[in-house]
Structure 1
Amino acid sequence: MKQIKAFVHKNRVPDLIHSLEEAGFRKLSLFDVKGLLRAISTREQEYSIDLGDRVISEMQMELFCEDEEVSRAVEIFRRVGRTGRREAGWVYVASVEQSYAIGDPD
């Protein structure tokens, strides 16, 4: 099993969710984060006193899938996550050693 972590601009999230669901991916989580992606416009930026730098609100999307589904999922993130800028985010893939369903024991 793999964990795919993508950092994307917020305006791409609805299309990404729709495309991933349409492709059959369901194990998806979303996190609102501050980051250093290149802003699409100045309206997207804010100055963080805590960090001492300009940041933007971006989304961290985490998707868990089987090994054989990774290339298809990464392709969706890279295609649908585009903003028209050269660098629109990042996608990371990591191995998951074990996973367990939460629920009543069998």
Structure 2
Amino acid sequence: MKEIKAYVHRSRIADVIAALKDNPAWGGARGGRRHNLAVYVVKGSLLPLDSDEQHYSIDLGDEVVNEYKLELLCEDSEVEALSAALMDAARTGQAVAGWITVIDVVSATPIH
């Protein structure tokens, strides 16, 4: 099992979530297994797309960009398809428009 984490611009988050939900690896068109998705607003260091996206954080003492962090668990066989869907939907035209990381999960126990 893997955990995929992605950091994307706020202007791309709705398209990223829609792309994941439409992806067959997610269970999209065929109505298969659904994944849990967690989404957080984080203060990050991506290059801003425009001046509205960047602001100064008094707590951090620096300019930051509000970005979104997504986390989801998936089977090893689903990583490539879900990562590709994330990458395609998160594109902004910048050289670096975010990050996708994949981490091995040692244990994941459902709560019933």
Shorter-chain TM-score range: over 0.9
- Where in structure 2 are there 5+ consecutive unaligned residues? 27-34
Aligned counterpart for 2:38 among listed residues 24, 29, 33: 29
**Where does the alignment leave 5 or more consecutive residues of structure 1 unmatched?**
none
- TM-score with structure 1 setting the length: 0.92
Shift of 1:50: 1.3
Q: Does 1:58 align with 2:61?
A: no
Moved more, 67-76 or 24-33: 24-33
Alignment correspondent of 1:8 = 8
Query: How many Å apart are 1:51 and its aligned residue?
Result: 1.0
- Which of 87, 95, 106 is residue 104 of structure 2 equivalent to? 95
Structure 1 residue 37 displacement after superposition: 0.5
| Aligned-residue RMSD, C-alpha | 0.9
TM-aligned CA deviation for residue 102 of structure 1: 1.0
Structure-2 separation of matches of 1:91 and 1:15: 16
- 1 CA distance for matches of 2:21 and 2:85? 11
How many aligned positions are there? 103
What is residue 93 of structure 2 aligned with on the other side?
84
1:47 corresponds, among 40, 53, 56, to: 56
Question: With structure 2 as the length reference, what TM-score do the two structures score?
Answer: 0.88
3-state SS in 2 of match to 1:43: coil
The CA deviation at 1:100 is 1.1
Query: Helix, strand or coil: the match of 2:63?
Result: strand
Runs of 4+ deviating beyond 4 Å: none
